[in-house]
Amino acid sequence: MRISISHVSEYTYDGPAAATLQALRLHPAPVMGQNVLYWTVNAPGIASAASYTDGFGNRVELVVGPSDSSTVVVTAHGEVETENNGGVSGWTGEAVAPGAFLRVNLVTNASPDIVAMAEAVRDPDRLATLHDLMAAIGANMAYLAHSTDARTTATAAFAAKRGVCQDYAHIFIAAARYLEIPARYVTGYMLMEDGSGSPAHHAWAEAMVDHIGWVGFDATNDMCPTDRYVRLGSALDAASAAPIRGVRRLLGQEKLSVQVSVREVGQSQSQTQQ
């Protein structure tokens, strides 16, 4: 499948920002099942940005923004050709060893309830365990937009029994790491068949499976990623995998508007998240 993506983030400030530094992780990952046909990223200062690949395999661009602007716009767009590998990303070659993805932090700590769920699906077959875990999370959670925020932990979301894709992924990761299965957070895009369900900008989890490599599990939709998914990047959790992360010094408030459009090339209909 050939998928066209447009991702626009607009930051508006009450007054000119004194300084901004943004780390952009906006280039689709070179993994099994997706071929980037073309891709561009634009932002103020992008021409002089430092670029490197981090330990998780993400291409990062460090952009120093203008100090005299009250608006900063970051855009990414392009086309990616995908195929359905049943969620398998395989051996992705990042510098960090799989064991690093057993690390637990405040966001991915497993509460007693998450531990109980994990124990209930434990099986000698790791792949069977992970599929059952994905289904169990879906059975215990309700998707509710705007019910959590960027600081919500896996423990808090699971206790509330509701959340968004970020929360489903964090819960999956917390349970998998408790079971001593390396698991990581993945950001990307999703094209829904009927234009409903999860928003275009999406998140899921990947877990390491012996003799296969990294395999994706989207607990939000109770399915492994298909050719309708475009994988952007991965890391330990949502914060470390964020497509845009930065620091800035300014007076007043910041407002962020995000517009994401995902469509199949040759189709007139697209899905947009705001």
Total of domains in the chain: 2
Residues 105 and 210 in one domain: yes
Regarding whether 35 and 23 lie in a shared domain, the answer is yes
Q: Do 235 and 216 fall within a single domain?
A: yes
Q: Two tokens at 4?
A: 């066209």
- Same-domain status, 169 and 116: yes
Checking if the pLDDT of 228 tops 60, the result is yes
Distance CA 154, CA 160 (A): 10
Residues 124 and 168 occupy one common structural domain: yes
Q: What's the CATH number where 150 sits? A: 3.10.620.30
At 117-134, the pLDDT tens digits run 999 999 999 999 999 999
pLDDT, residue 267, reads 65
pLDDT (mean) for 21-31 = 92
Q: What is the C-alpha to C-alpha distance for residues 2 and 122, in angstroms, rounded to an integer?
A: 37
* Strand 254-264, strand 2-13: pairing: antiparallel
Residue 227 pLDDT class (50, 70, 90 cuts): very high
Token pair for 226:
């298909």
Do both 250 and 269 map to the same domain? yes
Cβ atoms of 74 and 242 closer than 8 Å: no
Q: Supply the CATH number for residue 55's domain.
A: 2.60.40.2250
Helices of type H across 102-162: 112-121, 126-140, 154-160
Q: How confident is the model at residue 252 (pLDDT cuts 50, 70, 90)?
A: low
The mean pLDDT of the chain is 91
With beta carbons less than 8 A apart as the criterion, state whether 232 and 56 touch: no
Confidence class for position 194, pLDDT limits 50, 70, 90: low
Domain that holds residue 21: 2-82+242-273
One domain, residues 78 and 205: no
Give the predicted TM-score (pTM) of the model: 0.92
**% of the chain surpassing 90 pLDDT:** 79
Tokens for 228?
């309708």
Q: Are residues 106 and 224 in the same domain?
A: yes
Confidence of residue 198 (pLDDT cuts 50, 70, 90): very low
The pLDDT tens digits of the residues spanning 39-75 come to: 999 999 899 999 999 999 999 999 987 767 778 899 9
Residues 106 and 64 placed together within one structural domain of the fold: no
